[in-house]
Structure 1
Amino acid sequence: MHVRPTRLAFCLATALLPAWAAAGTQQGAAAPKAETEQHVASKNAEVQRLQHDVASQEARTEQADQKMEEQDRAIADLRRQLQELKSAKAAPGQSH
């Protein structure tokens, strides 16, 4: 029996078509999975960057709070000194 090349090609194509289709489906499924993993990795990197930014901002806020407290203490001390000077000037019998 003599098989023509086109008939042989048709038989091979028919036999291999399901395997090719399955490979295409697997690649198709792998592409969205890879995209999703890349998207998740990108979002995780963004979260880490934002957490770092928040930590930096909190540190700056803490430093600013400490500086304000120091300034408040300095202002209170200056007011106390000013009040003492006013009291000393107002006290009778004392002269400068």
Structure 2
Amino acid sequence: MRAIRCNQYGPPESLTVENLPDLLPETGQVVIDVKAASVNFPDVLIIENKYQFKPPLPFTPGSEVAGIVRAVGAGVTQFVPGSRVVAFTGSGGFAE
């Protein structure tokens, strides 16, 4: 999957597009095929290391997404593959 990555703190121009392995859901998790992601002021602050939430480097920014559930992990009963969802993920939203 392609993802926008923050490998070092800095302005939006410092982000890179990278190819990463597809995600597999762990217990209690779902994997979402992102169809839309919001860009918020906190996202900019996070990549510049100016926000209280500081994910470890490298990371994929993006905290709000809409998409379709691709896979579910063990124990997930509320969603099935194909479910349309919106989610607040904290990070990771700027990826396919």
TM-score band (shorter)? under 0.3
What TM-score does the superposition give when structure 2 sets the normalisation length? 0.12
Instruction: Give the structure with the larger helix fraction.
Output: 1
Instruction: Give the structure with the larger strand fraction.
Output: 2
What TM-score does the superposition give when structure 1 sets the normalisation length? 0.12
Q: Which has the higher Rg, Structure 1 or Structure 2?
A: 1
